[in-house]
Chain A
Amino acid sequence: MTPHGNPEVPASSATEINRSAEKVSPAVEPVETRNAWGLWEVFVRSSRGLSHVHAGSLHAPDAAMALRNARDLYTRRNEGVSIWVVPADAIAASDPDSKGSFFESPQGKDYRHATYYTKSEGVKHL
């Protein structure tokens, strides 16, 4: 430990050995009881007019630090003009197992697309 690492010991007496110090390792708490930083999902808008896109996730104790960590982790290469952070457990996600009932029913229903209309003459940019 460097002299600067231990606030108990003044820097000037760094070379003196603390003989009364306990000779055992400190007890380590099990992982689940430690106050770990929460998980946040990060959304980055790459330029004005585009929407925010999920870029990844990170750990932070609160929103203010999550934003700063997101800035440091996900906009290092000029990727963004705006960042959103959302606590990961605030996101409700669709169930991957219900992919069939959720997402496959629109398949083959091409009448839901505007494919049966004839384009009027002179109407541009359709």
Chain B
Amino acid sequence: MISPKLVEVGRHINIELMTCSEVESVEGESGNFEVTLVNHPRYIDLAKCTGCGECALHCPVTAVDSFNMGLDDRKATYIDYAQAVPLAFTIDTDTCIGCGKCETKCMAQAIRFDDKERKTTLNVGSIILSPGSQGFDPSGLEYLGYGKYANVITSLEFERILSASGPYSGHLMRPLDRREPAKIAWFQCIGSRDLSEGANKYCSSVCCMYAIKESVIAKEHAGSDLDCAIFYMDMRTPGKDFEKYYNDARDKHGIRFIKSRVHTIDPVPGTGDLEVRYVTDGGEMNSEIFNLVVLSVGLQTSPDVIRLANRLGIELTRGNFCKTETFEPVATSKQGIFVCGAFQGPKDIPQSVVDSSAAAAAAGEILSTARNTLTRSKEIVPEINVINERPRIGVFVCRCGINIAGVVDVPSVTEYAATLPYVDFATENLYTCSQDTQEIITQIIKEKNLNRVVVASCTPKTHEALFQETLINAGLNKYLFEMCNIRNQDSWVHKNNPELATEKAKDLVRMSVTRVALMEPLKEAELEVNQTTMVLGGGISGMAAARSLARQGYETHIIEKSDRLGGQALNLFQTPEGEDIREKVSLYIDDINNNEKIHVHLNTTITRVDGFVGNFESELYSKNEKQILKHGVAVLATGASELKPVEYNYGKDPRIITNLDLDKKFIQKDPMLKNLTSAVFIQCVGSREPQRPYCSRVCCAHSIQSALELKRRHPDLNVFILYRDIRTYGEHEYLYQKARKTGIIFIKFSLDNKPEVTLQEDQLRVGVRDHILNRPLEISADLVILASAIVPNGDEKLANFFKVPTNNDGFFVEKHAKLGPSEFATDGVFLCGLAHYPKPIDESIAQGLAAASRAVTLLSRKNIFMSGTVAMTDPAYCSSCGVCISICPYSAPSFIPDDDRFFPGRAQINPVLCKGCGLCVASCRSGAIHLKGFDNDQIFAQIFSVNEVI
């Protein structure tokens, strides 16, 4: 999943990757830092290593594979995993015996035994820290037997076991005897939420979800007979769509969830199995035998990172995470230094991606005046016109060291290629991808006057862009190129069949040659991006997005349907850290109002949106007046609101209120709060119910914070919190611990046994079944506070305007749940805040910044080039049936307007919106649509040349 991102970063002209490096010191100040780096030797020249792996193949040393968590071996010359970026090996000097075999075997001459530690200094304007976290080491917790019993493993080890590129090639086996387990147990909160010495007090946020995922995947691997049990304290699945996953794991996959903490693990002699002893909630002693035990270890900051933070003078939290403020969620205590990822707090991938975009925005705000002063751009070589010329094809066959040549007879493939029609030149290279070969190819194209190129080597997924760049440098259109995969899909998979592999290579080369002969130079649509931005929604995340966009130099319009900025944040009293929210929000609003690049439109809605990425035109409607706003991007921050409960007698008595009602009473200093003797909070009101199956994420911390506030005012007050699972993830866990210490009473209930709120002669009574005593309990209350769900301000019209989807719960659906949380699949439209999913203020602001950051990647280019492989219609053949228009997921086709002079009513395709999937081409019953680069004749050419008879 992250492989394309890695490749993109590795190839980016303005990203310099400095591997094997550590920060020694940072001098200077925001805008002008001098960073001293220690560069540890790699012993392999990064520029020359092609990642072919020949060195490791011949290395005689066996070392422990740390990437596979010690479950496997590797060589002293190694690479962590096959898709690593940069794709270059390194020598582990702790185990290397210095035999020099790798040096003699490396045909690229990349081995550098004399490589030394160096120091480099960098001058930078801002710094982002993303050092990540490490898994908790459970060997200190003796009762678990980790390190003593081979079949007690950590969740990280289990991840590697499940991985197809892991130690057992994805086969689910246990380490001791490589037998397939029939019963697996997961223990949650290992090293987290643990007050004992050596463990961490905070919740690690991610373990519940990953344990469920591991159990579901384990069942996928081993079949549904596999018995999986998860021992937990609270199941914490407050992320988007996580609750549904949890429900499915229990109801559809049959994963057992046992609420208990295991106290003893004993080996069952002679079997490798483990007897697990635990006490249930009701106090019953139980024991069960498992074949494998997985410890769900938490996240923690590594000692190296703590030392780094100390060197930089950055403040840490109690849990050794980077200290940040609610309203500045990615700023460290040192100006100009920002943070993202698990060093900011234990968090999952989507939140880490949000933070990383946010940190980029914050760093960019400081640097906006210097934008593009140090960036490099490619030199533009004029393109040679090849239209109407006979194809003159050059074929470059790669040996890839011995990766291809060790199996496929490369000289005979090259010789064969030279005999094919229109091939003017064919040669072989040791490594076609090496830098010097690019120059040779450029020269050959010019000398031989070639107008089409085929490279027979590895996969276009990783190398097509590299060779296309070479074509551009030689003055050829980059679409006059075809890659032929004779390594990943030939030599590597048929190594015991060299003859047939060679035959296959010849066939593949022939297919590529016939295809490339029909390729035409394609033009990429160029699009000017309007530099004005529009943010829909003036809540906290919308304001965060707008402020960041303005600070980065873009004119920004905030469209707010109500009469004031601030949104839901204005209804909130305190952050979990005890900061006054309204005070901070009003400072934020002042900042917005004082920024001359921000234009606020209150009492305004949108009635129409035309256009597409870079060139939107929205109609703003306010007080019977219409106004057109032209903008390049749009950020949707339309928010959400509190559900008005329909249960627990809400609305029937002024003492039955919601969390926001209570905040209002705090803010207005309501005298009602003065004479209280008993308050009851009820959690999950309207959330985690069949009709609204998601968790509203913020209510647990919110209720506990309010309960503590009540307790602070009236220490004698009896406060009860009735809950299903307490989900104070991350360092909010301290709140929960404080609440328990303060004497707040927590009573767990289940969905099929919900509390009841009754009114008896002016007396409020809450009935609940106590989960420990298993007996009904009746509490008389002066105040009942309902933790009501957060429901999106679902606006179907708006979703249609921007052609963006919403899910069953009414929240917007982002581009990618993990890697694209702050943008839509529709280009140029971004999202943040509660409209995406319920979240607290710090996460809302981070996502606002993230949306701004994603938008700036588009805005800062000013002109964008779309792909050339897009569909186009031949209107003369079009029957106006409209199938293409209804089938296209990107809304690229449309009818030519009726008043047009040519072909009115026929279909046309906007090349800017087209993603080149070809759905319309295959669906067109008239054959009127062509997909450039993958047109019928080009694909037929490949099919027809599968056999030698052409």
Q: Do A and B come from one complex?
A: no
